[in-house]
Amino acid sequence: MTKPADSTDPRVTRISGPIVTANGMAAAQMYEVVHVGADGLIGEVVRLLGDRATIQVYEDTTMLKPGAPVRLTGAPLSVWLGPGLVGNIYDGIQRPLPGIQAHSGAWIRRGEKVDPLDLQKRWHFEPRVKAGDTVAAGQTLGEVQETPLVKHLVMAPPGVSGVVRRIVPAGDYTVRETLGAVDTDAGPRDIRMLQLWPVRTPRPIRERLRIGAPLVTGQRIIDTFFPIGKGGAAAIPGGFGTGKTITQHQLAKWSDADIIVYIGCGERGNEMTEVLREFPGIIDPKSGRPLMERTILIANTSNMPVAAREVSIYTGITLAEYYRDQGRSVAVFADSTSRWAEALRELAARLEEMPAEEGFPATLPTRLAQFYERGGAVTALSGANGAISIVGAVSPPGGDFSEPVTQHTQRFIRCFWALDTELANARHYPSINWLRSYSEYVEDVAAWWGQQAPDWQELRTEAMTVLQREDRLQQIVKLVGPDVLPDSQRLILFVAELLKDGFLTQSAFDDKDMYCTPERQMALLRLILTLFRRGRDVIQAGAPLLKVQQLACVPLVMRAKSAIGNDEIAALVELDARVREEFDALAREYAKQGM
């Protein structure tokens, strides 16, 4: 006979979607993980009142009934950290989707339990310390070749420092096997490849660093005009169809980060399916290896439980912090923070919290700040320098940037890439509006750019001035047409179109132009501005704009981005010289006429 349940055992008393209330929870703690019902649904305690607890359940609560048992675990929601993370695909609570598919097919069953890391796989461990060495928290104890692109550092966990009592010789071990022991002030501590870390707790660092280098993305409008620093935070707001997801895909593929963490948070299933199918087939342009060998994907689509969507952001950033602590540059792409905020709103409503703007909880700004502040350039506990760059997509309803998520996000980021519906409709990609976007990292990365191109600041300012003047002139053109403008102002309109078509747009399907090195970016921009400066001079000398437009070099300048690749900088220099020669000839022609 089975033992009858004790009336004091934790039991479910109320169910409201993913929010469950249970009695008999006097021993529970805030943010403790619990298992709910006979299936052991994973949940987290989010409110305590006496012996009553409110539980946020990360799985489907369909068919769950009052009276179902609740089992306490005594631990907070934590992720597994160790070799095997890179190249994997997880859901919001770090369940490996390939493992679930192999175990139960295409659908995640209620109460599904699959270990985040393969406990049977043996990794070749190379020790980097010996018995008797003194080690500090975060110090490297050994290395594991996780993928051909990633050498995984096995570190002393935070809070563990002392003298190495023993360490295993080089060999193959599982993530749970003991690799050694460290004598600490609190007694001996075993060392394993596997570590656990609470997702809502930032991993400790030694100090924050000033950002000094850009995250090079290969996208000209970003790198040249609106750069993001390594360790910086950026937002990509835009309405439906403006290309937020595609832009993030391009950044994930081409950015010079060592590790990519892509969080699909609440996006449509077909979009996320495209990501999951596309990423394993993408070749890393720097190494020629599959991009997945330095990528972690977290997939939590809009039809998955809403509570798991809320925690997926923290899961992703914690994994990023782990690799940052190994001295790496990590890029985190969250698509999208609006869907995450909607999950917060739904959960807050079920918790019967007082709503604030547009029904979002009053804690929305705090939660956004907690997420973005976990990025940054830092010195880790080991003394190595690492960085986490965060790029969050925002999906404002109707493209309204005055809505709460966009407005609050702007308070915590320093780089704003505003996507424009009109540009997207005109097939201008990336559809980043150069008048509404900004970057506060320009001064931070100026020294780095100065080493690549001493005239970067000058070229950037001049190009932005041309685009701003063109916008003001367009208001006159809409009223009276372009023919009433003098040639000097029509030249601005002409060069602005050259900048838009020949520099700002970039095709992800053009083999030569899908990625643009900083050197080529400057060569292209220098070429267009040479045409602008020389055109301005000859027009002042009396030449009509039509003569400028008819020069043989003009169509070559327009096609340069697609005709001349990253390894053909000399051809751009030659084209620049040809532009100067043709304008010099035109200037001499009109100088003779003026004599």
- What pLDDT, on the 0 to 100 scale, is given for residue 364? 95
Q: Under DSSP, is residue 372 helix (H, G, I), strand (E, B) or coil?
A: helix
What contacts 573, CB < 8 A, 6 or more positions away?
523
- Answer with the residue of higher pLDDT: 136 or 288: 136
Read off the pLDDT band of 6 (50, 70, 90).
low
Tokens linked to 369: 């700040």
> Residue 130 burial by CB count (10 A; 0-12/13-18/19+): exposed, middle or buried?
exposed
Q: How many CB atoms lie within 10 A of CB 286?
A: 12
- What pLDDT, on the 0 to 100 scale, is given for residue 595? 45
Read off the pLDDT band of 4 (50, 70, 90).
very low
- On the question of pLDDT at 236 being above 90, the answer is yes
- Pairing assessment for the beta strands 11-16 and 187-191 based on DSSP bridges: unpaired
Mean pLDDT check: name the lowest of 33-37, 106-110, 228-232, 355-359: 106-110
Tokens linked to 573: 């220099």
- Can you tell me the distance from the alpha carbon of 8 to that of 51, in angstroms, rounded to the nearest whole number? 10
Rg value, the chain, Cα: 28
- Overall residue count recorded for the chain in this entry: 595
What is the model's pTM?
Answer: 0.94
Tens-digit pLDDT profile for residues 380-389: 999 999 999 9
Question: What average pLDDT score do residues 250-276 get?
Answer: 84
> Residue 280 burial by CB count (10 A; 0-12/13-18/19+): exposed, middle or buried?
middle
- What pLDDT, on the 0 to 100 scale, is given for residue 300? 85
User: Do residues 195 and 176 lie in contact, with contact meaning Cβ atoms separated by under 8 Å?
Assistant: no
- Can you tell me the distance from the alpha carbon of 390 to that of 378, in angstroms, rounded to the nearest whole number? 14
Question: What average pLDDT score do residues 351-363 get?
Answer: 92
- Can you tell me the distance from the alpha carbon of 239 to that of 424, in angstroms, rounded to the nearest whole number? 10
User: Would you give the DSSP letter of residue 9?
Assistant: S
> Residue 49 burial by CB count (10 A; 0-12/13-18/19+): exposed, middle or buried?
exposed
- Domains defined for the chain, CATH in brackets: 11-76 (2.40.30.20), 118-193 (2.40.50.100), 207-444 (3.40.50.300), 456-594 (1.10.1140.10)
Expressed in percent and rounded to 5, the helix, strand and coil fractions of the chain are 40, 25, 40
Task: Give the per-residue SS3 of 459-498.
Answer: HHHHHHHHHHHHHHHHHHHHHHCHHHCCHHHHHHHHHHHH
- On the question of pLDDT at 160 being above 90, the answer is yes
Residue located via tokens 């937002």: 235
Question: What average pLDDT score do residues 121-143 get?
Answer: 96
Nearest Cα neighbor of 502 from 570, 413, 572, 421 is: 572
- Can you tell me the distance from the alpha carbon of 562 to that of 549, in angstroms, rounded to the nearest whole number? 20
- On the question of pLDDT at 217 being above 70, the answer is yes
- What pLDDT, on the 0 to 100 scale, is given for residue 2? 38
